[in-house]
Amino acid sequence: MQFLHFLSEAIIPLTIFLIVTNGLLNRQNIYQDFLKGAKDGFLTVIDILPTLVGLMTAVGILRASGFFDFLSEILKQLMGPLHFPTELIPAAIVKMFSSSAATGLLLDLFKTYGTDSFIGLAASIMMSCTETIFYTMSIYFMHIHVKKTRFTLAGALLATAGGIAASIFLASLMT
């Protein structure tokens, strides 16, 4: 256990040391490479900022308007026969748009049901097994100027459904 504690504290400084050492051994101008990377990163932020602001605004509007609650109510009717815990539906929907908003819903589930309950375990695993699909697609595709996403959304939704199913299955094994 002490080794893991040491490793968690030393991993970032050790990584930086290894990168700098590798650069010096390869006779690279480390400072110029760092400045170029920082400049490229800054330009990337400027490039994706309008998309990010638009997405965050849209998620805020949808959440404040009650759209996610409305959609959750519709899905509860469909998921009832499948014995899917309907308490997880809002978190599963919101996670596709915003990880921070989904974390807020996760904390609400923890307060209501507890962290070691079936709902708490399933929600925790679900947050780890799923991705912020629409955020990721909008940011990355806008940055590299992809116009035709082909099967990306369908594949991402299928992977998310698999992650949600796996979270329910794994949580049922743990409780």
Between helix 152-174 and helix 118-129 the angle, nearest 10°, is 150
Between CA 67 and CA 74 the distance in angstroms is 11
**Would you say 151 and 114 are in contact if contact means Cβ atoms under 8 Å apart?**
no
Predicted local distance difference test score (pLDDT) of residue 68: 74
The pTM of the whole model exceeds 0.85: no
Predicted local distance difference test score (pLDDT) of residue 160: 94
Predicted local distance difference test score (pLDDT) of residue 11: 92
Between CA 53 and CA 50 the distance in angstroms is 5
Predicted local distance difference test score (pLDDT) of residue 168: 92
> What's the token pair of residue 130?
């799923």
**Would you say 109 and 119 are in contact if contact means Cβ atoms under 8 Å apart?**
yes
Mean pLDDT, contiguous 10-residue spans, the chain (175 residues): 86 93 92 92 85 78 82 80 83 86 88 93 94 85 80 92 93 88
